[in-house]
Chain A
Amino acid sequence: MSQPIISVKDLHIWYNDFHAIKGISIDYLPNTINAIIGPSGCGKSTFVRTLNRIHEEVPGARAQGSIMYMGKNILSSEVDPVDLRRQIGMVFQKPNPFPSMSIFENTVIGLKLQGEKNKSKLMEVAETCLKKAALWDEVKDKLNKPGTSLSGGQQQRLCIARSLAVNPPVLLMDEPTSALDPIATGKIEELMTELKKEYTVIIVTHNMQQAARIADYTSFFILGELIEHGLSSDIFTNPKQKTTEDYITGRFG
Chain B
Amino acid sequence: MNYYTWRKAKNYFFHSLLSISAVLVLIPLFLVVAYVVYKGISGLSLDFFFNTPKPVGEVGGGMVHAIMGTLYLVALGSLIAVPIGVVCGTFLSEFGDGKIAKSLRVAIDLLTGVPSIVIGIFAYILIVIPFKGFSALAGGIALSLIILPIVTRSTEEILKLVPQHIKEAGLALGLPRWKVTYFIVVKGNLKAILTGVILAISRAAGETAPLLFTAFGNRYVSTELLSPMASLPVQIYNYSISPFDDWQAQAWTGAFVLIFLILGINLTCRTFLNRKKILEKVTRQK
B183 at the interface (CB under 8 A from A): yes
CB distance from B283 to the nearest CB of A (A): 5
Name the interface residues of A53-100: CB closer than 8 Å to any CB of B. 54, 57, 59, 81-87, 89-90, 92, 94, 96, 98-100
Closest to B162 in A: A99
Give bound CA distance, A59 to B184, whole Å: 21
Pair count A-B, CB < 8 A: 76
Name the interface residues of B155-173: CB closer than 8 Å to any CB of A. 163-173
Give bound CA distance, A219 to B239, whole Å: 82
Query: Which B residues are in CB contact (< 8 Å) with A99?
Result: 166, 188
Q: Which of B163, B171, B282 makes the CB contact (< 8 A) with A85?
A: B171
Majority SS at the chain B contact face: helix
Q: Which of A87, A89, A149 has the most CB of B within 10 A?
A: A149
CB-based contact B173/A85 at 8 Å: yes
Q: How large is the interface on A (under 10, 10 to 19, 20 to 34, 35 or more residues)?
A: 20 to 34
CB-based contact B184/A98 at 8 Å: yes
Give bound CA distance, A159 to B169, whole Å: 9
CB-based contact A163/B172 at 8 Å: yes
Q: Which of B97, B173, B282 makes the CB contact (< 8 A) with A166?
A: B173
Binding site for B on A (CB under 8 A): 52, 54, 57, 59, 81-87, 89-90, 92, 94, 96, 98-101, 109-110, 113-114, 146, 148-151, 159, 162-163, 166, 168
10 A-B contacts (beta carbon < 8 Å): A59-B97, A82-B174, A96-B169, A98-B170, A100-B189, A110-B174, A114-B174, A148-B284, A150-B286, A168-B174
Q: Which 3 A-B pairs have the closest CB atoms?
A: A86-B174, A110-B173, A100-B188
A57-B167, A151-B286 provided; 18 other pairs, C-beta below 8 A? Answer: A54-B172, A57-B171, A82-B175, A85-B173, A85-B174, A89-B172, A90-B172, A92-B165, A92-B169, A94-B165, A98-B170, A100-B187, A109-B184, A149-B286, A150-B286, A162-B169, A162-B173, A166-B173
